[in-house]
Amino acid sequence: MSETSELKALRKELQGFRDIEAIKTLKASYIRHMTLNQWDELEALLTEDAESSYSDGQYTFSGRQALMEFLRTANATAGKKISWWLVGMPEITLHDEEHASAIWGMLHFHLDKATQQQVDQFSYYQDEYIKIDGAWKIQRTGYARVLEETIDRGALPPETFQQQVG
């Protein structure tokens, strides 16, 4: 292998590592914005033609506008419900310079303060990404549940859920 072709191969490999890290950052931002209800910021991470399928296809949307309307409406209960997500174990595949896909393990916690119903879930996200003007965007996202557990916190002793800060 000549020095020039070796250098080209190294540059391509380095770009692949950069793309994988950019996709990890994109997904982390998506999760953070979901958790903090930062809808304008989350919207900027999606393609205009984004598609989603949440809860094993129960909530399916075509187009960024339809998806964002659902997310804003479904989470418009600030202070009454608490949700957070945690993703990890990424399996990222770069298909070419502008297309990628990934599978992510996800933990999800949801608490409805009014009813004291807690839902814990483990799922696998499946995403597709496209690079537009040098930046990766989410084109398709969705998850399939592996486990979901509902807990009636109101039926448990109060000391079960002592909160500690610091």
pLDDT by residue (tens digit) across 57-96? 888 999 999 999 999 988 766 668 889 999 999 999 999 9
CA distances from 149 to 85, 108, 121, 145 (A): 15, 11, 6, 11
Residue type, 110: H
Task: Give the per-residue pLDDT at 165.
Answer: 55
CA atoms within 13 A on the CB side of 85: 20
Domain boundary assignment for the chain = 3-161
Residue found by looking up tokens 């500690």 in the block = 164
Of 36, 57, 68, 56, residue with least CA distance to 138:
68
Asked whether the predicted pLDDT for residue 103 surpasses 80, the reply is: yes
Count CB atoms within 10 A of the CB of residue 142: 20
Identify which of 22-26, 51-55, 151-155 has the greatest average pLDDT.
Answer: 22-26
φ, ψ (nearest 5 deg) of residue 76? -85, 25
Percent of the chain with pLDDT over 70: 93
* d(C-alpha 87, C-alpha 6), whole Å: 36
Token pair for 162: 């002592």
* d(C-alpha 100, C-alpha 109), whole Å: 28
User: Contact 88/102 with Cβ under 8 angstroms?
Assistant: no
Q: How far is CA 42 from the centre of its chain?
A: 10
The pTM for the full model equals 0.89
Asked whether the predicted pLDDT for residue 48 surpasses 70, the reply is: yes
Mean pLDDT score of the chain? 92
Tell me the average pLDDT across 8-36.
96
160 or 14: whose pLDDT is higher?
14
Under CATH, which number does the domain 3-161 receive? 3.10.450.50
